[in-house]
Amino acid sequence: MHMNTQIRNVSKIRNDYRLKPLSRNTQQNNREWGIGEKNPRSGLVGISVQHTKFHPVYTKTGIEDFTLGSKFEEEIREIADLNDNWDEEGALKPDYSNLKNATLFVLKYGNSILKTFGKNLSYPEINPCKDGSIDLVWRDKTNFLILNFREPNGQIANFYFDQYDPNLGRQGGFVPSELDQDILNYLKKFV
């Protein structure tokens, strides 16, 4: 692929996190998640600390004033619409709390990266697991990070990171509601 085309594509993806016009508000499904716009006075934002007040909202009842990139929203909606046995092999419907915790994670860490480094975190793949848990995956040519949210109370999530050499892979658990420096360092590789 031509370099300019690559740059345009990357830029397009990252722009999904930026400001969105009010007319492109999220859908009802996302309201049910608590990530759609419920308060019209706040305007719509992506992961942009210049225009959001992420932490106070997160620590109250959810992220009511926030929305995500359109592509990521679309993926979330597709997963939210899945029913039991979505894989025809007995998979469980994605757990609402796991899905919400994964989404909150993206917002929280995306905000932190933008605030600290002035760069937008690329949006991850969001993949439903057969047991109702949720995977978030960032992957590029040199780095790979997968997170799994399976604790509905959101107190702990699991991660695995490598640079395509499993012998040097790192894995463990972390507390998503706190800013984990190791996880932040891994995510910095995807801005």
Partner 1 sequence: MWEKETIPDPDKLYFFIHIHAMRYDKEGNNPFVPESSLTNTPDSGPNKSSDWSKYHRPEDTRFLRGEEYKFGQKIFKKPDEYFIYSTLVSDWRSIDQQHGKQSVEHDPIYNDPIPIGTPNNRAHSIIIGNKDDLKLRTIIARSIKWEIAPPDTKIECKEYKKTLGL
Q: Of 18-26, 27-35, 54-62, 161-169, which part binds partner 1 (CB under 8 A)?
A: 161-169
Among 7, 8, 9, 53, binds partner 1 (CB under 8 A): 9
25: contact with partner 1 by CB under 8 A: no
Q: Which two tokens stand for residue 172?
A: 């463990």
Q: Where are the beta strands (DSSP E) in 40-191?
A: 125-128, 134-139, 144-149, 157-162, 170-174
How far apart, in whole angstroms, are the C-alpha atoms of residue 35 and residue 42? 13
What gap in Å lies between CA 96 and CA 101, rounded to an integer?
Answer: 9
Smallest distance from partner 1 to CB 156, Å = 13
Q: Which of 166, 175, 182, 185 binds partner 1 (CB under 8 A)?
A: 166
Measured from the CB atom, the residue of 65 and 135 that comes closer to partner 1 is 135
Residues facing residue 171 across a β-bridge: 160
- Report the candidate in 164, 130, 131, 132 with the shortest Cα–Cα distance to residue 146: 164
Among residue numbers 60 through 99, which ones bind partner 1 (CB under 8 A)? 71, 82, 85-92
Decide whether 119 or 130 has the Cβ nearer to partner 1. 130
Coil, helix or strand at residue 161: strand
83, amino acid identity: N
Strand partners, 126: 136
* Neighbouring C-beta atoms of residue 68, cutoff 10 Å: 26
Binding to partner 1 by CB under 8 A, coded x per residue (else -) over 109-148, reads --------------x-x-xxxxxxx-x-x------x-x-x
Q: Which residues contact partner 1 by CB under 8 A? A: 9, 13, 71, 82, 85-92, 123, 125, 127-133, 135, 137, 144, 146, 148, 158-160, 162, 164, 166, 169, 171
